Amino acid sequence: MYAWLVVEETQAKLLPAALGRAWRQGAALSAVLELPERRRTQALVFAWADPQAAEATPRRPPRWPDLLSEWSEIYGEPLFQGDALPVLGEETSALGADALIVHVAPGLAGATIAWYERGALISYEHVGAATVSWTEPEGLGRPLEGGRRGSLAAGARKLASAEDDLILDRIEKSARATGEALLERALHRFLAHDPPPFEDLAGLLARATTQRIEAG
Distances (CA, A) of 81 to 3, 86, 90, 104: 8, 9, 16, 9
pLDDT at 153 over 50: no
| DSSP E strand boundaries for 38-108 | 40-49, 57-58, 99-104
| DSSP E strand boundaries for the chain | 2-8, 23-25, 28-37, 40-49, 57-58, 99-104, 111-117, 120-127, 131-135, 139-141, 211-213
105 contact partners, CB below 8 Å, separation of at least 6? 1, 111, 128, 179
- The answer as to whether 42 is a domain residue is yes
Q: Which amino acid, 198? A: F
CB 53 within 8 A of CB 27: yes
Note the pLDDT of residue 205. 93
Q: What is the CA radius of gyration of the chain?
A: 18
Residue (of 121, 123, 122, 119) closest to 18 by Cα position: 119
Burial (CB < 10 A; 0-12, 13-18, 19+), residue 125, is buried
Note the pLDDT of residue 174. 58
Q: What is the rounded average pLDDT of the residues 31-45?
A: 78
Lowest-pLDDT range of 6-15, 69-78, 152-161: 152-161
- The answer as to whether 216 is a domain residue is no
pLDDT in tens, 173-195: 555 566 778 888 888 888 777 78
Between 127 and 143, name the one with better pLDDT: 127
CA distance 10 to 216: 17
CA distance 199 to 196: 8
User: Residue 18's pLDDT band (boundaries 50, 70, 90)?
Assistant: very high
CB 194 within 8 A of CB 35: no
CB 63 within 8 A of CB 50: no
Predicted TM-score of the model (pTM): 0.81
- The answer as to whether 87 is a domain residue is yes
Note the pLDDT of residue 137. 85
pLDDT at 149 over 80: no
- The answer as to whether 60 is a domain residue is yes
CA distance 118 to 133: 20
| DSSP E strand boundaries for 38-183 | 40-49, 57-58, 99-104, 111-117, 120-127, 131-135, 139-141
User: Residue 88's pLDDT band (boundaries 50, 70, 90)?
Assistant: very high
- The answer as to whether 215 is a domain residue is no
pLDDT in tens, 40-74: 568 999 999 999 999 999 999 999 999 999 999 99
For 142, the domain range is 2-210
Distances (CA, A) of 45 to 3, 26, 180, 187: 13, 19, 20, 12
CB 77 within 8 A of CB 131: no
Domain total of the chain: 1
pLDDT at 169 over 80: no
User: Residue 167's pLDDT band (boundaries 50, 70, 90)?
Assistant: very low
